[in-house]
Structure 1
Amino acid sequence: MRDYKSLAHTRWDCKYYIVFIPKKRRKVIYGNLRKFLGEIFHELARRKECKIVEGHLMKDHVHICISIPPKLAISHVVGYLKGKCAIEIAKNFKGKQRNFNGEHFWAGGYFVLTVGLDEEVVRKYIRDQEKNDSHRDQYDLDW
């Protein structure tokens, strides 16, 4: 049986698969930043009463399977994750202490897909990203 969550008048299980990229798809997510982002995404999701079910950070994009309560809009949660995360990156990696307006780490858009009953398929796809990406890198494509 599925593990449904509850609000005052709602039983729910809303999961979404989200992908977003750094500005200009730069390959900057590695080393200390990669570890930092993993921790900060989980903390920020928890603050919004969300839970990251599965996630994987690639050098130039992020895959997240996240459970979001129906009272929250997906766009607000993604905007919150990307915005607050950019501020933390500026604080911890760029040496800025204030005046965070205009910090642009992430590109403006994102991809979202409702998971539904295919949750295990989506989670496996996210887990296998490293293998899939290295297989794709073997081809030298110029596009």
Structure 2
Amino acid sequence: MSDQYKHANTSVYLLNYHFVFIPKRRRKVLVGAVEARVKELLLQKCTELKWDVLALEVMPDHVHLFVAADPNTAPNQMMHALKGYTSRILRQEFPHLSTLPALWTRSYFVSTAGVISSAMVERYIAMQKTRD
């Protein structure tokens, strides 16, 4: 089996999720120090929850996160944990974000990717900053 597969007591798995989520009203608030802090917080929380960040890119009005997780965590739980954590910290540290009714929208995009398409997703996310 591939080295990418993870092993637990009763399971072998490879779950890679590509998430895209946006600030409320798609406002372009994820710039400068906010962008750097979003990346830092997402990496910190994923490490804490033992999820592997495969790719991460923060655009001014959305976030791409490619993450590997265990089968005991549903994608909606992952988004709830990441959005709640980042929203609370960012709104404390950046007062101008407190004026928004909420930092993140309740919606998000998620897709799964296996071994073959993982490289494609990583390339797509990496290309986001260089697009015209």
TM-score normalised according to structure 1 size: 0.84
Shift of 1:2: 3.6
Q: Which residue of 1 aligns with 2:126?
A: 127
Residues 37-96 of structure 1 deviation map (CA, whole Å, 9 limit, x = unaligned) = 11100111122221111010000000010001001111001111001110001221129x
Residues 87-124 of structure 1 deviation map (CA, whole Å, 9 limit, x = unaligned) = 001221129xxxx9xx7200110000111130000000
Unaligned runs of 5+ residues in structure 1 are 136-143
Does residue 1:55 correspond to 2:60, yes or no?
A: no
Q: Which runs of 4+ in 1 moved over 4 A?
A: none
Percent of pairs identical after alignment? 28
Number of residue pairs matched? 128
What does residue range 1-143 of structure 1 map to in structure 2 within 5 Å?
A: 1-94=2-95, 104-116=102-114, 117-132=116-131, 135=132
SS in 2 for 1:15: strand
Q: Which amino acid aligns with 2:129?
A: E
Unaligned runs of 5+ residues in structure 2 are none
Q: Which amino acid aligns with 1:114?
A: T
- Greater Rg over alpha carbons, structure: 1
Question: How far apart, in 1, do the equivalents of 2:46 and 2:95 lie?
Answer: 23
